[in-house]
Structure 1
């Protein structure tokens, strides 16, 4: 019986941890959406190309690959696949990450970058 009690207790703890992680993830996505609307929509849209390329589906996409969008030569040649690490480096300092690209916006806050990345990733699910 003690083994069963410990097993049930462990299972409940794991369920609570998973629920907490999901809640934190949902909160990060909401924060990222707010930040995206505040900071990105001057140049980007979700489903159409504007000054910058569309953002829906960016997670997992290769840089410079949206058909019809006029990317810089640097982005076309970079061979970067947009994952969390690449997006973090990009948002920290686009020019340092891919010299010769055209985006001049930086996101200094690691927490804001993480929220934006969570939001962009949620759009690709």
Structure 2
């Protein structure tokens, strides 16, 4: 099942040039849309709050963090042995096809292939600092 981009989010992506003089406003809109999409697709397994337990590893501060490095999380061997950092391109590749990006990972999800949705979720993740 592919996540559908709500019409307002698609309009935001199309209208981005209109916000050229207002980058902070557009970024705030992207972050909010990303939060909504994260809550719809990712929050069932992942938390962005350090004091909340979740099935998947904590995603607070994920951008710039070494893969497989959240203390006390039982990662798959594939992620324990991964030697990359969660950059924007790495996260987008993971969001689209985690099994293709890191074969052997235990995470199972329906890939989000829409680049607009990926960008919005990434904007939200980038806004969360630990």
1:56 aligned to which of 60, 65, 79:
60
Gaps of at least 5 residues in structure 1 are: 1-15
Give yes or no for the alignment of 1:99 onto 2:92: no
Q: TM-score, normalising length from structure 2? A: 0.78
Structure 2: tracts of 5 or more residues without a match: 1-18
**What is the root-mean-square deviation of aligned Cα atoms in Å?**
1.6
Give the TM-score normalised by the residue count of structure 1: 0.81
Residues 1-125 of structure 1 aligned to structure 2 (within 5 Å): 17=20, 19-46=21-48, 47=50, 48-105=52-109, 106-124=111-129
Contact 1:49-1:69 within 8 A present in 2 as well: no
Q: Distance in 1 between matches of 2:102 and 2:26?
A: 31
Q: Which consecutive aligned stretches of 4+ in structure 1 deviate over 4 angstroms post-superposition?
A: none
Quickly say closer, same or farther: Cα 1:62–1:49, change in 2 above 3 A: farther
